[in-house]
Amino acid sequence: MKTTLIITGQLRLINKENPIDKIQYHINHIKPNETILFLWQNEYQQYKNEIDSLNLQIITLNENLPEIDDQKILLSQKQINKQPNTNTPLQLTKDNIDFFTRLIKQYYQIQHIFQNIKSDSNIYIKTRYDLKYLAPFNINPLFQFYNENLPIISTPFGGDLHGIGLGDLMTITNNKANQIFQNYYDVFMHHLQNELSPVNAEFLIRYIFKNLNHSDIYRFNFFCTTQHMEKNNYIYHGLIQHGEIIGKDNLYLPGYYKNPIV
């Protein structure tokens, strides 16, 4: 199978990091057949010469999009306070408004990326610039589950909200699942307007893929963390021997709308 690596998020270069080294770090660990970079326009312009020298497909986006109005923020607050195990309701503080705005832009970013991919791969591995890999990555055991006729998504085991979300640090999808990502923001906003959709990233991925599209979900064990959490010695994933497939995880997100199975 042909694999494409998609690196997303913000570069967030620290301690005089070189953008080429940071990009190459992910390529060396994943070992894809091809790589696609997402970059916010301001970061791309800042490091354009270095990044262009890699001769990779680049997808950019202006950081000012989309427009987030007060109604979206209020709906986001209302829906996040309905989520399972929400013990303390979130108030509309400046920090929480910024949090909702970042989440909504993140979903727009995902949709934009998958709408603009030019590739003939079978498998797409979406990771983040700030992800840190703590063990070798081997995708081969997952290939047995991938069927081009069904939407299939895999995520690492662990690190998910309240045990029922799907961790969004890394996703592995086939072409059918990519079609779901191509409308990710639009579907989210439609269901948010009707007060059906969760807002948190880890709930939303299960809601859209499972509740709405009845996708097959697989979990695998993979040791990883982020640049920020690594400083606190926090590991998101890795309670089971590396490489072990957890298996199919077809839980529908409880308490939320589910499309009828036809």
- Sorted by where each starts, the structural domains of the chain and their CATH numbers stand as 3-248 (3.90.550)
Task: Please tell me the pTM assigned to this model.
Answer: 0.88
DSSP symbol at 53:
T
Task: Classify strands 216-220 and 152-156 as parallel, antiparallel or unpaired.
Answer: parallel
CA 154, CA 152: separation in Å to the nearest integer?
A: 7
Sign of CA dihedral 61, 63, 67, 70: positive
The DSSP bridge partners found for residue 4 are 34, 124
- pLDDT for 239 equals 45
Percent of the chain with pLDDT over 90: 44
- pLDDT for 238 equals 47
Token readout for 166 is 């799907």
pLDDT tens digits for 214-228? 999 998 877 777 776
pLDDT tens digits for 15-59? 788 999 999 999 999 999 999 999 999 999 999 999 999 999 999
Orientation of helix 184-193 relative to helix 94-115, angle to 10°: 140
3-state secondary structure of 123: strand
Highest mean pLDDT among 77-81, 185-189, 236-240: 185-189
